[in-house]
Structure 1
Amino acid sequence: MNNPLSMPHIRRITVAGLSRTLLLALSMLTLLPACSDDEDNTVATPASPDKITVPQAALSPEGIQYDEANRRFFVSSRTQGRIGTVKDDSTYTQFADDARLVSTIGLNLDANRQRLLVAVSDNGANTSRSSAATRQKLAALAIYNTNNGTLSNFVDLGGLRPTQNHFANDIAVDSQGNAYITDSLSPIIYKVDTQGNASVFLENAQLAASSGFGLNGIVFHPDGYLLVARSNDGTLFKVPLSTPANFSRVTTTQSLVGADGLLLVDNQTLLLVAGSQSTVFRLASTDAWVTANRTGSFATGAVSPTTITRRTMDAYVLYPYQATSPRFAITKVKF
C-alpha cells in the first residue's frame, strides 16, 4: 500500500495527463472552424469556356451581349426575330418575341437600367414576317425589361425619313441612357432618349456607302463621343456627342473592310470584327482616336463573324454560320 507505484497514484497521474491533453486538443479545435469557414466561403468562379456551340437551327444571330448578373448571353435572330439567352452548357432559352420583331440585329444591354435594347430591321431574311411594307423600310428600337422580358417600348426610326431605305443595325448607349442607332442603308445615326423620343442625331452624305452596307458597329466612348464603323470600306468615324456635325475619320493603316461589331475594351483599346476578313482586330489609340494602330488580330476562320461582347476580362465573338445552319457558336477571342 505504501508502494509509490500503486494504482491510485498511477490513476492520478494519468488523469492529470489526460486533462492536459484534452485542454490542448480543445484549444486546437477552436482554431479549426475558422479555417473551415474560410474554405467554405471561397467559391471558385467557373472557368469561362473557349467555345459554346448552340444547336439552334437557322437562328442566324446577328447581335450578342453578355449578362454578367445572370451568367448568360443574349442573342438576336435575323431569320426568326426572337431574342434568346444562352448558358455555358449550350442551353438556349427564348427570352422574348413579338410579331413586330421581323429581324433582330444589334443588341445593347443597359444593365444599370435593366434594359435590353434591340435594333429591328427587315432585309428579307425572315420569310415568315417580312413584307413589302417593311422590307428595307423597317428600322426600329425595341426595349425590353431584362428582369421579366416584357416589352417596355417599340420606337419607330424609319418613319423619321419615310422615303429612304433603312436597316437599323447596331446600338450604343451613353452615360445618360440615350441610345444611338446606326442605319446601314441611309447615312443616319438615330438618337432615342430615355423617354423613348426618337430623332435624327446625325445625317450626312459623307457617311453613306458607295455600295452595300454603310454604317454598322457603334460604341460610346466615356470622353463624350461615338466611334462608328462603316462596313463597305472599313472607315472608322469619331462623332462628338456635343457637335455631331464635326465628325472626323480615324486614321489607320490597317484595312478594316467588312467592319461590323465593335467593343471598347478601355479608353485606348477597341476590338473590331471584320466579317469579310474573318478577323477580329485589336486597335489602339494614344491621341483620343485621331489615329489608331493595329496591336493584334484573331483569325476566326470562314464562319461569318458578326459582333463581339465583353465577359469580365474576356471578349467573345459570335459565329452565326450560314442562315440555314443547324447551329451557331460563341467563341472566346485570343490574341
Structure 2
Amino acid sequence: MSRSAFSGRRRPVRLPRFVVLAALAAGLLGTLPGCSKDEDITTPTVTNPDRISVPQAALHPEGVQYDDANKRFIVSSRTKGVISTVKDDSTFAQLADDSRLISTIGVNLDAGRNRVLVAVSDNGVNPARTTAATLRKRAALAIFNNTSGALLNYVDLGGLPAAATYPNHFANDIAVDKDGNAYVTDSNAPIIYKVDPQGVASVFLTSPQFDAGTAFGLNGIVYHPDGYLIVAKANTGTLYKVPIATPASFTAVTNAAGLSLTGADGLLLTDPQTLLLVSGSQSTVYRLSSTDAWANVRSTGTFATGAVSPTTITKRGSDAYVLYPYTATSPRFKIVKVRF
C-alpha cells in the first residue's frame, strides 16, 4: 500500500491509563500456567497414610476396625472402656460408652447390619470401673449402632451355666458369620461363645485342647466364607479350623514350616487363602497362606513392628493396618500400614 492511499496524516489515539494497565494485566495473566478460574489450587490429599499417630494418653486400645463408609477407624480401650473413632488426620471422637464397659477388647464392625460388636472384660486395668465381682470374671458382648453409638444389646457370656464351671473369664475377639451370628473367644476359659442375631448366647464350643492354664489361651478369631472359623491360641501359637455346622469336629492347622506363632493375637483374612496374624510377643505380623482349605499353612512374609505391643489388624481397601497401643500409660497410640 502506497502512501497515496491516505488522504492525510492522523494524530495517534491516546488510550486512558486504566485501559492500558488492564490490557497489560490481562496479557501477563495469559502467560501464567494453571491459573484458570475453573481450577482450585489445593494441597493433595493423602489417601491411606503410612501411619496415624493419635495423641490420646493412656487409652490403650486393643481392637481396631476400619469403617469404610465413614472413612474412620474404630478402636476400643482397655483402660477406659469407651469405643472411639479416629480419622486420618488423627481426629479422635467417642462413639459409644456404657457403665458396664470395664475394658473393651476386640471390635468387629458388622457393616451390613450397621453394628459394632465389642468384647468386654475386666483384668483390673480400669480402676474407675473394676470391682471385686467383675475382676477376671467379666466376659460379655456389647452391640452398638454404628451411626448413633446407641447400645443395642449387652449379653452376659461368663454367666452362662455352661461357662460357670470355669473360675476366670476374659472375652477377647469376635467373628461374625454371614447370618449375623457372633463368635467370641475366651482367653481365660477354653470356650468359644455364640450370640445369635436376637442376642441369645450359648457355648458354641469348649475343649481341653483350648485350655491354657494360667496363660492366655484362645485369642484371635475370623470367619472364613466357606463356613468355618479360624481361631488362634496365644500361648502355643496353634491355629484351629472350626466348622460352623459341626464345631466338635475342629482340627488343628498343620504348621508346615514349623514356624513359631506364639503370642498370636489379632487375625485378618485378606482373601480365602491369605491370613495375617499379629504376634504381640514377637512384635511381628505374619502373612500366612494355605492352598488346601487351611489344613496346612505356610509363611509368605513378615512385617516387624518394633517394641510397640502390636495387637490387632484391620483391612482398608487393599491395605492392612496394625494397631500399636504401646503401653497402658503411653501418651499416644498409632495405626500403621503393614508392608511385607
Verify the 8 A CA contact 1:283 1:294 in the aligned structure 2: yes
Who is 2:164 aligned against? Answer: 162
The alpha-carbon distance between structure 1 residues 158 and 210, as it changes in their structure 2 partners (threshold 3 A), is closer
Q: For the residues of structure 1 that align with 2:123 and 2:251, how far apart are their CA atoms?
A: 29
Who is 1:25 aligned against? Answer: none
Who is 1:192 aligned against? Answer: 195
Who is 2:330 aligned against? Answer: 325
1:132-147 to structure 2, matched below 5 A, reads 132-147=132-147
Letter in 2 for 1:262: L
Partner of 1:292, secondary structure, is: strand
Query: How far off is 1:271 after superposition?
Result: 0.0
Query: How far off is 1:209 after superposition?
Result: 1.1
Listed one character per residue, the Cα deviations across residues 191-250 of structure 1 (whole Å, up to 9, x for unaligned) are: 000000000000111111144100000000000100000000100000000110011100
Q: For the residues of structure 2 that align with 1:69 and 1:45, how far apart are their CA atoms?
A: 18
Who is 2:123 aligned against? Answer: 123
Listed one character per residue, the Cα deviations across residues 291-312 of structure 1 (whole Å, up to 9, x for unaligned) are: 0000000000000000000001
Does residue 290 of the first structure (1) align with residue 295 of the second (2)?
yes
Does residue 215 of the first structure (1) align with residue 186 of the second (2)?
no
Listed one character per residue, the Cα deviations across residues 269-295 of structure 1 (whole Å, up to 9, x for unaligned) are: 000000000000000000000000000
Q: For the residues of structure 2 that align with 1:97 and 1:149, how far apart are their CA atoms?
A: 8
Who is 2:313 aligned against? Answer: 308
Q: For the residues of structure 2 that align with 1:149 and 1:174, how far apart are their CA atoms?
A: 22
Partner of 2:134, secondary structure, is: coil
Listed one character per residue, the Cα deviations across residues 30-82 of structure 1 (whole Å, up to 9, x for unaligned) are: xxxxxxx9x99xxx974211000100000000000000000000000000001
The alpha-carbon distance between structure 1 residues 285 and 45, as it changes in their structure 2 partners (threshold 3 A), is farther
Q: For the residues of structure 2 that align with 1:109 and 1:285, how far apart are their CA atoms?
A: 25
Does residue 76 of the first structure (1) align with residue 79 of the second (2)?
no
Listed one character per residue, the Cα deviations across residues 127-165 of structure 1 (whole Å, up to 9, x for unaligned) are: 110011001111000000001110000000001123421
Q: For the residues of structure 2 that align with 1:327 and 1:284, how far apart are their CA atoms?
A: 33
Letter in 2 for 1:292: V
Aligned-pair Cα RMSD in Å: 1.6
Who is 2:204 aligned against? Answer: 201
TM-score, normalization by structure 2? 0.85
Q: For the residues of structure 1 that align with 2:137 and 2:164, how far apart are their CA atoms?
A: 8
Who is 2:266 aligned against? Answer: 261
Q: For the residues of structure 2 that align with 1:233 and 1:205, how far apart are their CA atoms?
A: 14
Q: For the residues of structure 2 that align with 1:114 and 1:59, how far apart are their CA atoms?
A: 25
Identity %: 70
Verify the 8 A CA contact 2:188 2:214 in the aligned structure 1: no
TM-score, normalization by structure 1? 0.87
Q: For the residues of structure 2 that align with 1:118 and 1:170, how far apart are their CA atoms?
A: 8
Letter in 1 for 2:307: A
Q: For the residues of structure 2 that align with 1:227 and 1:74, how far apart are their CA atoms?
A: 23
Give 1:236's match in structure 2, choosing from 233, 236, 239: 239
Letter in 1 for 2:338: V
Q: For the residues of structure 1 that align with 2:210 and 2:45, how far apart are their CA atoms?
A: 44
Letter in 2 for 1:59: L
Letter in 2 for 1:324: T
Partner of 1:62, secondary structure, is: coil
Partner of 1:147, secondary structure, is: coil
The alpha-carbon distance between structure 1 residues 291 and 45, as it changes in their structure 2 partners (threshold 3 A), is farther
Does residue 275 of the first structure (1) align with residue 280 of the second (2)?
yes
Give 2:183's match in structure 1, choosing from 180, 194, 213: 180
Q: For the residues of structure 1 that align with 2:127 and 2:71, how far apart are their CA atoms?
A: 32
Give 2:304's match in structure 1, choosing from 283, 299, 303: 299
Runs in 1 of length 4+ with deviation above 4 angstroms?
A: none
